[in-house]
Amino acid sequence: MTIFEVRERYLNFFKKHGHKIIPSSSLIPENDPTTLFTSSGMQPLVPYLLGEEHPKGVRLANSQMCFRAEDVDEIGDNRHTTFFEMLGNWSLGDYFKKEQLPWVFEFLTNKDEGLGLDPARIYVTVFSGDKESDMPTDTESVDIWKKLFLEKGIDAKLVTLDTEKHGGEVGMQGGRIFAYGAKKNWWSRSGMPNNMPEGEPGGPDSEIFYDFGTEHNNSFGEKCHPNCDCGRFIEIGNSVFMQYVKRNGTFSELPKKNVDFGGGLERLTAVSNNEPDIFLNNVFRDALHILEYNSGKKYSEQSEAVIRSFRIILDHMRATSFMIAGGITPSNTEQGYVLRRLIRRSIREADKLGIKEAVLAEVSAVYGKSYAKEYPFVSESENKIREEITAEEAKFRKTLTQGLREFEKYAKHSTPDIDAEVVFRLYTSYGFPIELTEEMARERGMSIDMEAVHAKMKEHRDKSRAGAEQKFKGGLADGGKETTMLHTCTHLMLAGLRKYLGKDVHQAGSNITAERLRFDFTHHEKVSREILDNVEKYVNEAIEEDAPVILEQIPKESAKDEGVEGSFWEKYPDVVNVYTIKSNDGVVYSKELCGGPHVENTKMIHDTGKHFKITKESSSSAGVRRIKAVLIKD
């Protein structure tokens, strides 16, 4: 089956069980300073799992775009990717374990409406309990799984392992259901049960694994078990049961319990074809052909080290395409830094494959075509993706050549440890990325004192960037009054820019703190001071009007039809928040799609005695300009 068929089957299956299908949120979280990327299907739904009512009801399902930067160093094996889609279904206080586990098992094993997996290849884990917090074993899930397996003619034995280390020591022991402790089979936002603060919900989870039946690799432990990383087992889904709440130091059952299921689409597709290598899924096929042609190497005939280079490029270029299409551009900070690292790492791996020409833009372009139906915003951004990757590749190839030459000089004469001063010099003199030096050293069995490197980098930054602005994780830094006022001003400023520069101007990103706003927008040339002054005047007029800020919740398609301004439409739900800033005599200053927060009336800004001032306009990237602005008193 293809990825598209698996996704469609999953969503249709849960639609038949009363779930409303909701769209994927953006890879970039809306106004969330705690994280750079959306990394799970649960993340955009946390407010609803904590009690807020969802406009679509209590049964939801979707396929969520995700990106996990922490997985970058793991890319190269047959099952990890940075970008992936997470199939998910949720119950918001509706059904619970006795519905969830049979439904998931049916989807996995049903040939007509599901994946048709052999149930003898399926193994599951449950929560074994936690003595420190007096939490019991999840016997209810055990009983449900035993019944489900028995219906397939399988006597499912329960084996308690508690830890991965224990599993590596004692092995499978004929088990089908495996009980692990809180480190593996408990979910809360703060980790282990004892770490949970007052009022925090949490609960056990139940993971599902597929057995490829491959030979165990003893380097991952003496014996194999479902949570072993040797490659025999692959996790394909996890049902989280938000069952408990912590109050007065003890746990009690929640009156309304929630279910959150997440299953990796790429992994589910791979197991549906009994293929351990997810990079042989259909979405990677055309990109792989380009790399094979340009390298003169056939993927299936190479050593594991060479295959690793193929996989890194395939993964990183897919992630790059979605990130650029979502509004991220290569830079030295935040999401842009992660994107730049993906591109630069891919360039080096192409170099290792013997590909000396610039082909990454061509590789990335095929992903837009592969996902054209499900995510048309990627194919619509093809020119932008090509431009950004081509420019980054041209810029970095010179750095790569110089840096590799210098690294080899140092590596040839070094002890097993490479001095931190060498790493620092490669970075400051040649622009050679520190993580790339670290990776190359690791490949040669050499080590680097990274604490010493970071200390040198901090000293360098303190000298060269004294007084630099505070670094935040994207969106709004906080929900305080000053930040909220500047956020409202951002809407007014965008409306002013569109008035004086034209309707082709759209938001391309923002970062707002209590001290200033930073705003990226689409425009091909420098904006004159005259235009900036007019935009300032437009914003200040709206502030002086004491204009109310009106919130409406309307269908997304209606908002589009009405010409409501908005960027990244694909990340919003079917019912959206539209904020209109309108004077009492009917003058509309701004009407825009947004997740908030805003002032209720521009009078809140006016009463501070401050006015809006644009302090700087500059280039952010090709076709994108950046404005910095503040609220200051006369």
pLDDT at 276: 92
**Residue 462: is its pLDDT beyond 70?**
no
Among residues 230, 293, 296, 238, the alpha carbon closest in space to that of 262 is found at: 238
Beta bridge partners of 475: 511
pLDDT band at 432 (very low <50, low <70, confident <90, very high): confident
Same domain membership, residue 34 and residue 180: yes
Same domain membership, residue 301 and residue 220: no
pLDDT at 479: 64
Residue 110 lies in a domain: yes
Residue 100 lies in a domain: yes
pLDDT at 414: 61
pLDDT tens profile 226-277: 988 888 999 999 999 998 888 887 888 888 899 999 999 999 999 999 999 9
Tell me the DSSP string of 418-468: E-HHHHHHHHHHH---HHHHHHHHHHTT-EE-HHHHHHHHHHHHHHHSTTP
Answer whether 522's CB lies under 8 Å from 461's CB. no
19 phi and psi, to 5 degrees? -90, 140
pLDDT at 279: 95
pLDDT band at 429 (very low <50, low <70, confident <90, very high): low
pLDDT at 467: 32
Answer whether 38's CB lies under 8 Å from 63's CB. no
Same domain membership, residue 298 and residue 308: yes
Residue 405 lies in a domain: no
Same domain membership, residue 232 and residue 107: yes
pLDDT tens profile 6-26: 999 999 999 999 999 999 888
**Residue 472: is its pLDDT beyond 50?**
no
Answer whether 173's CB lies under 8 Å from 152's CB. no
- 611/122 Cα distance (integer angstroms): 63
Of 239, 258, 279, the residue that ends a domain is 279
What letter does residue 326 receive in the DSSP assignment? T
- 481/4 Cα distance (integer angstroms): 45
pLDDT band at 565 (very low <50, low <70, confident <90, very high): confident
pLDDT at 245: 84
pLDDT at 573: 67
What letter does residue 190 receive in the DSSP assignment? T
Residue 605 lies in a domain: yes
Answer whether 114's CB lies under 8 Å from 108's CB. yes
> What domain range is 420 assigned to?
414-468
Same domain membership, residue 132 and residue 24: yes
pLDDT at 111: 92
pLDDT tens profile 501-512: 998 888 888 888
Share of the chain above pLDDT 70, in %: 93
Among residues 168, 156, 103, 85, the alpha carbon closest in space to that of 125 is found at: 156
Distances (CA, A) of 146 to 139, 151, 177, 201, 499: 10, 9, 8, 27, 65
Answer whether 79's CB lies under 8 Å from 276's CB. yes
Same domain membership, residue 266 and residue 184: yes
Helix %, strand %, coil % of the chain (to 5): 45, 25, 35
Q: For the residues 442-469, what does the mean pLDDT come to?
A: 68
Share of the chain above pLDDT 90, in %: 49
Answer whether 513's CB lies under 8 Å from 630's CB. no
Same domain membership, residue 579 and residue 483: yes
Distances (CA, A) of 307 to 78, 170, 216, 301: 9, 33, 20, 9
pLDDT at 169: 87
pLDDT at 459: 73
Pairing outcome for strands 588-593 and 575-582: antiparallel
- 437/120 Cα distance (integer angstroms): 45
Would you state the torsion angle of the CA atoms of residues 367, 368, 371, 373, taken in this order, to the nearest 10 degrees?
-160
Answer whether 55's CB lies under 8 Å from 9's CB. no
Q: Which amino acid is at 27?
A: L
Residue 203 lies in a domain: yes
Residue 210: which CATH number? Answer: 3.30.930.10
Residue 229 lies in a domain: yes
pLDDT tens profile 160-205: 988 888 888 888 999 999 999 888 899 887 778 878 888 778 899 9
pTM, full prediction: 0.69
Lowest mean pLDDT among 32-36, 236-240, 312-316, 345-349: 32-36
The mean pLDDT value of the chain amounts to 87
pLDDT band at 418 (very low <50, low <70, confident <90, very high): confident
Higher pLDDT, 461 or 287: 287
pLDDT band at 468 (very low <50, low <70, confident <90, very high): very low
Same domain membership, residue 75 and residue 207: yes
Count the domains in the chain.
Answer: 4
Of 250, 279, 308, the residue that ends a domain is 279
Any residues with CB less than 8 A from the CB of 112 and at least 6 apart, and which?
A: none
253 Cα distance to chain centroid: 31
Q: For the residues 574-581, what does the mean pLDDT come to?
A: 82
Same domain membership, residue 106 and residue 23: yes
Same domain membership, residue 463 and residue 479: no
